[in-house]
Amino acid sequence: MRKNSRLPNLHNFGIHLRIILIVNLFALMTAVLYSQQFSQLFRRFTELSTAVQPILIVSLLCLYGIYPWLNRLEYRLSLLVIVGIEMGITYLAFTTLSPYFSPDILPNIARACLLSGIVTAIVLYYFNLQQRAYSPAIAEARLQALQARIRPHFLFNSINAVLSLIRSQPKRAETALEDMADLFRVLMSDNRELVPLAQEIALCRQYLALEKLRLEDRLKVHWDIEQMPPDAMIPPLILQPLLENAVYHGIEPLTDGGEITVHITRKHEELAITISNPFHADKDRHSGNKMALKNIKERLLLHFDLEASLRSKVHDHQYSVNIRIPLQ
């Protein structure tokens, strides 16, 4: 669990991309100010970039390396450390590079360090604003998830299925009620932290056990998870809504039911998840998938920025959802 949750994730590709874009935007603005004519702009920007890019690359590599240590510091102290590191890198770079550039494009070392500190502070302030802007979004995403996750028909059908078992199979009814209690306890909790994949799988098995009470042999599930890393960290309740969609849109409309396939494996430094179910155009109810998929995409973006993805497709009478998550 991250202690310094307000600090941008300096191991995230999306964060690095934004830093590069912001710093280069400042370099372009500086080149505009230094250019007397438009024809000079490209040359000025190229000269300035030649000095800025090495500083930027070294800075990103340095911050990437010390991020675990920074993440254990208090937020304000970590900001001061980052600004100090950037000014130090700038000082070393300018003492090395300044003899190779004309003085009219590069400021003196003191001014360069000051500008570096200011730009770094602006970038950190931008990420602070972004984090504050996302806080309501996280709460909103959670509310949307609660609305999209469990449909009322599931609750009523599960209760009726349990009632039908109480006299004939009391032990099975008791297990089903325990599964319902566990499921709804997780659904109503504050699900903002990442959880182990094995925990999410256990929750999904409880959910499918409840659905099987009423669908019986119509619902078949194939788990292809032998190669999955059970301790991989993922956002909670990512798989359960997808399985619920697979049951509602893929299995219920078919008289003979069908099979849901769950494939989870590790591919290099990513967790690859695929959930597929039968698809028939004449029984299409997949328009209802959009809310759950949109919600999951939003939560993946909040947790992993640009490093995670979700795609859905229809192929060979199968509807599948593919998720890629950076391995943690």
Reading the chain (328 residues) residue by residue, the pLDDT tens digits are 445 567 888 888 888 888 888 888 888 888 788 777 777 788 778 877 877 888 889 899 999 899 888 888 888 888 899 999 999 988 888 787 666 665 555 567 788 888 888 888 988 888 888 777 666 555 555 545 544 445 555 666 677 777 777 777 788 778 878 877 777 777 666 566 788 999 889 888 888 888 887 788 888 999 999 989 989 998 888 888 888 888 888 888 888 888 999 999 998 888 999 999 988 766 555 555 567 788 788 788 878 877 889 999 888 888 999 999 988 7
Query: What pLDDT shows up at residue 152?
Result: 56
What distances in angstroms separate CA 159 from CA 70, 72, 132, one per listed residue? 50, 46, 41
9 CB-near residues (< 8 Å, 6+ apart)? 15, 67, 305
- At 98 the pLDDT is 65
CB 123 within 8 A of CB 86: no
| Cα distance between residue 169 and residue 176, in whole Å | 11
Nearest-angstrom CA–CA distance, 52 and 20: 10
Alpha helices (runs of H) in 233-288, residue ranges in sequence order: 239-245
Token pair of 14 as six digits? 């999306």
Q: How far is CA 238 from CA 65, 201, 203, 314, in A?
A: 30, 10, 11, 20
Contact in structure between 246 and 275 (CB atoms under 8 Å): yes
Q: What was the pLDDT predicted at 107?
A: 63
Burial class from Cβ neighbours inside 10 Å (0-12, 13-18, 19+) for residue 227 reads exposed
pLDDT recorded at residue 145: 53
Number of CB atoms found within 10 A of residue 191's CB? 20
Give all domains of the chain, ordered by start, each with its CATH number.
Answer: 13-134 (no CATH), 150-326 (3.30.565.10)
pLDDT of residue 296: 84
For residue 225, count other CB atoms closer than 10 A to its CB.
15
Predicted confidence (pLDDT) per residue in 41-100, tens digit? 887 788 778 778 888 898 999 998 998 888 888 888 888 999 999 999 888 887 876 666
pLDDT tens column, 151-184: 555 666 677 777 777 777 788 778 878 877 777 7
Q: Which of these, 93, 86, 115, lies nearest to 10 by C-alpha position? A: 86
